Amino acid sequence: MIDRRQFLRGTGVLLGAALLPNAWAQMASARRMVCGYPAGGLCGQLAEAILPILAKGNAEDFQLEFIEGRNTRTATEKVKAATPDGNTVLLANSSSLTTVPNTYKDIRYDGVTDFEPLGMLGEYTFSLTVGPVVPKSVNTLQEFTEWVMNNGEFRNVGAAIYGSMAHLAIRILARDTNTPLRAQPYKGTSSMIQDLHNGTLAAAFTAPGNAIGGRYSDALRTIGVSAKERLSYWPNVPTLMEQGSANMDIGGWFGLFVPAATPVGACQAIRNDLQAMVATPAFAEAQRLLLIADTEFDPQVIRARIRDEKERYGALARAYAITPLD
């Protein structure tokens, strides 16, 4: 197991970043980077890390806009409908394009045809994170499920957003371990982590880099991760699969997108800036602190990934009986 102080350090809030010249600085109209999650989560932290790099240190040159509503669908739809000039960019969690379309009925966008991918900025997995209400003697998946069986009032496990990858992970874990776990969806991460911290909630599936440090004590710790293999940055943290959840292999990624009709030249200029950004020490440090890894800039590869993951998570949502909501 990773120690709690190491867990805390890995989830710290990012500080300043290096500066780069970029093509967006040439554009005359106001620029927006849209995030469909509330402030304070991993999406917002990633945006705040890359904006100083992409905007020459002038954060007001590029406005970060949090558009909440309908579990990220409102933000996604607004960027789809934006003027296709490269000035409105969606920083999307892959779940918005791959999982949410399978768990909600009212979907007014297609992740493959309605957007032009600019780049993938990092992959992440989930941590089964427990709070202080869980005894410190509980350190493994077996010990956690045994504790839940003896403390049924704490069988709820938090997930940011109904029908998300974290929601799927809870269903998989419950079935694999034959434990009556129940998903408790939240609108965002901050309130979920607050409930973990104050003992209202015993456990939640969180992205490892999701701002657990800073405002909170070191009382939160990980039982295991949802990836199929151990993470390079958490080599001592076992996977949930190796601890007995045989079907657990859940993870997501963050990408930048513009409306599909955005001119090729504008898209390529932004990609060039992104590729220059990811080569900087500042971005490497951002990935390290947020516990995300890998990048991709081939739009065809990203489209294929969206298509394949949408199919896979759709099959999982049906197999684990997640009822689509309106």
pTM: 0.85
20, pLDDT greater than 70: no
**One-letter amino acid for residue 60 of the chain:** E
Q: Is residue 60 part of a domain?
A: yes
Whether 11 is in a domain gets the answer: yes
Dump pLDDT digits (tens) for 163-185.
999 999 999 999 999 999 999 99
19 and 92 belong to one structural domain: yes
Which of 191, 225, 259 terminates a domain? The answer is: 225
In angstroms, the CA 161 to CA 146 distance is 26
| Residues 147 and 209 both lie in one domain | yes
Q: Which residue has the tokens 């990012």?
A: 14
pLDDT at 201: 97
Which secondary-structure segment (H or E) carries 222?
Answer: strand 221-225
- pLDDT of 315 > 60? The answer is yes
Total of domains in the chain: 2
- Asked whether residue 14 falls in the same domain as residue 40, the answer is yes
pLDDT of residue 210: 65
Same domain, 221 and 208: yes
- Say yes or no: 28 and 70 in one domain: yes
Domain containing 160 — which CATH number?
3.40.190.10
Residue owning tokens 């197991």: 1
The domain that holds 256 is classified in CATH as: 3.40.190.150
Evaluate whether residue 35 is within a structural domain.
Answer: yes
Give 288-300 pLDDT, tens digit per residue. Answer: 888 899 999 999 9
| Same domain, residue pair 205 and 148 | yes
* Residue 219's pLDDT band (cuts 50, 70, 90): confident
Domain assignment present for residue 232? The answer is no
Q: Looking at the structure, do residues 25 and 107 belong to the same domain, yes or no?
A: yes
Domain boundary among 190, 225, 260: 225
pLDDT for 9: 43
The verdict on residue 141 lying in a domain is yes
Residues 119, 26, single domain; the answer is yes
Structure token digits, residue 47: 């945006």
Is the CB of residue 224 less than 8 Å from the CB of residue 141? Answer: yes
Question: Per-residue pLDDT for 310 more than 80?
Answer: yes
CA distances from 170 to 88, 165, 326 (A): 34, 9, 21
Average pLDDT on 120-126 reads 95
Pairing between strand 203-206 and 182-186? unpaired
Maximal CA-CA distance, the chain: 62
Determine, yes or no, domain membership for 1: no
Between 6-15, 195-204, 273-282, the lowest mean confidence (pLDDT) is in 6-15
What radius of gyration do the chain's Cα atoms show?
Answer: 19
Do 255 and 113 belong to one domain?
yes
Burial class (CB in 10 A: 0-12, 13-18, 19+), 61: middle
How many angstroms from the chain centroid is the CA of residue 98? 12
Is the pLDDT at 57 greater than 50? The verdict is no
Do 114 and 161 sit in the same domain of this protein? Answer: no
User: Are 251 and 227 a contacting pair, CB within 8 Å?
Assistant: yes
Domain range enclosing 66: 7-124+251-319
Q: Are residues 209 and 258 in the same domain?
A: no
Q: Is 234 a domain residue?
A: no
Whether 209 shows a pLDDT value over 80: the answer reads no
Residues 177 and 275 in one domain: no
Contact 285, 18 (CB under 8 A): no
Going by C-beta distance under 8 Å and a sequence separation of 6 or more, which residues neighbour residue 298? none
